[in-house]
Amino acid sequence: ARKIIIDTDPGQDDAVAILLALASEELEVLGICCVAGNVPLARTEENARKICELAGRREMRVFAGCDRPMQRALVTAEYVHGKTGLDGIALAPPTMPLESQHAVDFLIETLRKEPPGSVTLCTLGPLTNVATAFARAPDIIPRVAEIVAMGGAYFEVGNTTPAAEFNIYVDPQAAEIVFKSGVPLVVLPLDATHQVLTTRTRIEAFRALGTPVGQAVAAWTDFFERFDMAKYGSEGAPLHDPCVIAYLLKPELFEGRHINVEIETGSELTLGMTVADWWGVTDRPANAYFVGKADAAGFYALLTERLARL
Ligand code: BDR
Ligand code: CA
């Protein structure tokens, strides 16, 4: 199995991504690192434990990481995800423990311990934990196999400001460190995630699983649809973060280009913009595989089939 660490700020779509990973035997989840993002850190780490318990995986190691971005004040998104970050269904408070080690120390220790090139980082939130680990322990950078990140946008531009996507906007300095790190990087931007929309039929398929997991995923996707459908006028809502895990399981569902992507950290107006050279108009070297297309039917078939295993 491929070893992964999930770095996340759950969030309903993060929750679905974590469940998809835990349901897939091709992936060995070494730990779940939490970061402040959609909601503050105290909520994201609690939510991550709730999700593990829902999946029947109380032995999973959950770590709390950075409680604020590297240089800016924290911006959260309760207006999308609700007060808890997992609004839509009430889950019991978790009883499994939170690890006492800081997520950044766990990242550093694990990357030093595991064979070089054997650990993939899956990032579903602001990049604060990963960038802090890279800044503190640059020796781990060449040991990372790959980073698969949900973040940024090109044609779909911003969902948080007119220019920026949430995960990059919250901590642009961290994103810059990661995008400049030289680690092989796959980016699932809004351009890809806005192609995998929840629909009535897809949500009903989750509910029809007839399990607590199916119930929760249906309730969560129902919940954040209300916001995104009004915002975009689309049929359903984009299920962003599970695209990262789906990419690892079935890369053939996605299509992108190796291009140069720079992060805007200077301008007030376009802070956190992923300046993606999609058309190759500069000679800046490629630093990311930037996904532009996703097979929605294939994605939902995979997701539903995997969730049925939990
Ligand atoms: C990203 O922002 C968060 O609200 C979601 O969980 C996802 O990671 C989408 O822009
Ligand atoms: Ca997220």
For residue 282, what pLDDT is reported?
Answer: 98
Compute how many other C-beta atoms are within 10 angstroms of the C-beta atom of residue 282. 11
Most informative mutation of 38, 80, 123 for ligand 1 (most atoms within 8 A of CB): 38
Note the ipTM here.
0.99
Q: Cα separation of 229 and 247, whole Å?
A: 25
Cα of 60 vs centre of ligand 2, distance in Å, is 19
Atom of ligand 1 nearest to the CA of 11: 6
For residue 109, what pLDDT is reported?
Answer: 98
Residue ID of nearest Cα to ligand 1 atom 4: 38
Q: Cα separation of 299 and 303, whole Å?
A: 6
For residue 226, what pLDDT is reported?
Answer: 73
The one catalytic residue among 81, 102, 194, 240? 240
For residue 138, what pLDDT is reported?
Answer: 98
Cα of 153 vs centre of ligand 1, distance in Å, is 12
Task: Confirm whether 194 is a catalytic residue.
Answer: no
- Tokens for 42, please give them: 């105290």
Atom of ligand 1 nearest to the CA of 38: 4
Task: Note whether 111 and 140 are within 8 A (CB).
Answer: yes
For residue 167, what pLDDT is reported?
Answer: 98
Query: Is the pTM value of this prediction over 0.90?
Result: yes
Atom of ligand 1 nearest to the CA of 165: 10
pLDDT tens for the chain, 310 residues long, are 999 999 999 999 999 999 999 999 999 999 999 999 999 999 999 999 999 999 999 999 999 999 999 999 999 999 989 999 999 999 999 999 999 999 999 999 999 999 999 999 999 999 999 999 999 999 999 999 999 999 999 998 899 999 999 999 999 999 999 999 999 999 999 999 999 999 999 999 999 999 999 999 999 999 987 777 777 777 788 999 999 999 999 999 999 999 999 999 999 999 999 999 999 999 999 999 999 999 999 999 999 999 999 9
For residue 235, what pLDDT is reported?
Answer: 79
